[in-house]
Amino acid sequence: MSPSKIFLVLPAYNEEENLAALLAAAQQVLSGEGRGYEVILVDDGSHDGTLALAEDWAGRMPIRIVRHAVNQGLGPTLRDGLRAASGAASDSDTIVAMDADNTHPPELAVPMARLIDEGHDIVIASRYQAGARVEGVSAFRRMLSWGANSLFRAAFPIPGVQDYTCGFRAYRGGLLRKAFDHYGDDLVSEAGFQSTPDLLLKLARFAPVATEIPLDLRYDRKRGASKMRIAKTIVRTLGLIVRRRFGERNREVG
């Protein structure tokens, strides 16, 4: 069986300071892998040089740009990137979503794609696997992430999954297409960072074969301020858990 093509989905908002380094690393890794690849960059209404930089790089590597005229948030941006990728990918191709701020190492896309080739449906770059490393993240934020993931594991156990909130994931093209056919745009219905675990919970209904690999999270490489509003993210994530555990999930069963 020939190796799958990799579609790299990058939701981007004001990432001018970080995007060039990420694209350079992705080009080096993916062009040397011997399999086809395409970058799908969704510019979420950036008002810096993100769009111009992406257009410049489109002359050097295969990049498709999807643009939001105004900022819509991570959820709609991720949704539009995944929809574009799933529309272009075959059922066996690999769709990798990752942050555009140069904190996720694109070289992990290759072993993730190999695991998709071997039969997995979801591969997560996880902070909770042996060998994972996290640099540049405060102890407070690490504690919040650990707490949120503990709640998700307790409320929604998914075989093979420990890290519910990391957005660095690989998906089988056929799984995402099936999920979009079922949910439509509601596959990614949350606006902020809670869209990441919510997507995983919705994909779980299709009984995917999931696994994880260790993540090397390099937040110390990020330039510019974080876009996460911690208090708002906590409130919305807790609200998501309550709704999915006691409300929407029960209505689906009924």
- What distance in Å separates the CA atoms of residue 39 and residue 62, rounded to the nearest whole number? 6
Tell me what pLDDT residue 222 has: 75
- What distance in Å separates the CA atoms of residue 245 and residue 151, rounded to the nearest whole number? 11
List, in order of start, the domains of the chain with CATH numbers: 6-253 (3.90.550.10)
pLDDT by 10s per residue, the chain, length 254: 567 899 999 999 999 999 999 999 999 999 988 889 999 999 999 999 999 999 999 999 999 999 999 999 999 999 999 999 999 999 999 999 999 999 999 999 999 999 999 999 999 999 999 999 998 888 888 888 888 888 889 889 999 999 999 999 999 999 999 999 999 999 998 888 889 999 999 999 999 999 999 999 988 887 766 555 565 667 677 777 777 777 754 444 33
Tell me what pLDDT residue 46 has: 96
pTM comes to 0.89
Tell me what pLDDT residue 228 has: 53
Q: Which of 105, 136, 100 is nearest to 220 (CA)?
A: 136
Residue 2 near residue 114 (C-beta atoms within 8 A): no
Tell me what pLDDT residue 28 has: 94
